[in-house]
Amino acid sequence: MLNLRFIQENPELVIEKLKKKNFDAAGIVGQIIDLYKKKNEIQAKADQVKAEMNKLSKEIGQLFREGKQAEANAAKERTTELKDTIKQLDDSFATIDEQVFELQVQLPNLPADLVPAGRTPEDNVTVKSGGELPTLGADKLPHWELAGKYNLIDFELGVKLTGAGFPVYKGKGAKLQRALINFFLNEAEKAGYLEIQPPLMVNEDSGFGTGQLPDKEGQMYHVTEDNLYLIPTAEVPVTNLYRDVIVEAKDLPVKNTAYSACFRREAGSYGKDVRGLNRLHQFDKVEIVQIAHPDNSYAILEEMVAHVESLVQKLGLPYRILRLCGGDMSFTSALTYDFEVYSAAQEKWLEVSSVSNFESFQANRLKLRYRDEQTKKPVIAHTLNGSALALPRIVAALLENNQTPEGIRVPEVLVPFCGFDLIN
């Protein structure tokens, strides 16, 4: 959530920066400015009324002491009228604050200067790539066929139990999932992240704190009777651990990691790009989250990108890192890097991670602050998170890229976690 004072003091800058996200903020910013002008007018009137009431309150006692009963009673009647006026003005204040808040939460985060202009994924900028694209024979199979051939994943059984997008992992397919989760968590722990096991459902306040509400409520599964939401990512509960918290500056950065199932409705998704593991309603993911000092958050972003890069390198997957353009960024992000791995059988790139700096946007919603060591005053912190990693498309690429006539080779780093080096 953008800071109100910043909006008031820099309206043109806010409007101009949000153009990069293809968001026309002029109307909303204009309404906020107008409402605050109105609020200032009400404040001036309220100050005037309170000054008159204070003056009368002092005079009433003196009038009674002087025996001026009628004048004292008239003054008391006037203070009653003024109290009613103050209440009306306070109600007007509250109404304006509600209107401003409703407008404020509609504004996306400002993109960082590094964010390239653009509207679609085609406008994203490749900043780095690594690994060699595998060469497969003419008999190469996509992962959904490999999953059936080796009895790893049953998509139809998932449809029977729940619906499309809820696969059932079996045998070595299930063990491969567990191996990846443990590998990712172990690597995060080596990098200094404290593991958290969060709830899989959150309340409205948590959804608002990280920006899923009110922006993405249609993408989340809603448990209506209890008004809870199934989490779309562990980012939501983990970041909300620090809602309404003041962190000591010496304790920054705070580093957490969490494995969780993730749930996304993916409304409107259909067609060939949703086959197999390409787009699911339930999937597993390991998340990394950091709470950072504003001076250090972009250095920490690069550190997190390097961590994710090390994971795909150790898995032996060809990858590329994209800096997202304004039109492809999330509502809450200031700067995002996407990781894609190459799917050899499908002959296309698959997104497996987003690593983002939200600057103060989430923290402002969360009232997440750190205590400045010099002034001892609370200051809004910065938040960052990244997928390290999401499993479905990683599994898809591993199965496709490592298929051989003998079976599917398992990356060496996973063998200690799954207990086999070949799926056959």
Residue ranges for the known binding site are 233, 264-266, 287, 351-354, 385
Q: Are the C-beta atoms of 384 and 252 separated by less than 8 Å?
A: no
Residues constituting the chain: 424
Output the DSSP codes for 94-127: HHHHHHHHHHHTTSPPPPPTTPPP-SSGGG-EEE
Residue 96 CB contacts under 8 Å (≥ 6 apart), including other chains: 35, 36, 38, 39, 42
Residue ranges for the known binding site for L-serine are 233, 264, 287, 385
Residue 25 CB contacts under 8 Å (≥ 6 apart), including other chains: 14, 15, 18, 107
Residue ranges for the known binding site for ATP are 264-266, 351-354
Q: Report the C-alpha gap between 321 and 249 in whole angstroms.
A: 31
Helix (H) or strand (E) holding 44: helix 26-65
Q: Are the C-beta atoms of 315 and 417 separated by less than 8 Å?
A: no
- Using a 10 angstrom Cβ sphere, with 0-12 exposed, 13-18 middle and 19 or more buried, the burial of residue 27 is exposed
Instruction: Report CA-CA distances (Å) from 294 to 95, 297, 299, 304.
Output: 33, 5, 10, 16
Longest alpha-carbon distance in the chain: 110
Phi-psi region of 407 (alpha: psi -120 to 50; beta: other; left: phi over 0): left
Q: Report the C-alpha gap between 408 and 400 in whole angstroms.
A: 8
Tokens of 340: 């894609």
Q: Report the C-alpha gap between 287 and 187 in whole angstroms.
A: 12
Q: Are the C-beta atoms of 360 and 382 separated by less than 8 Å?
A: yes
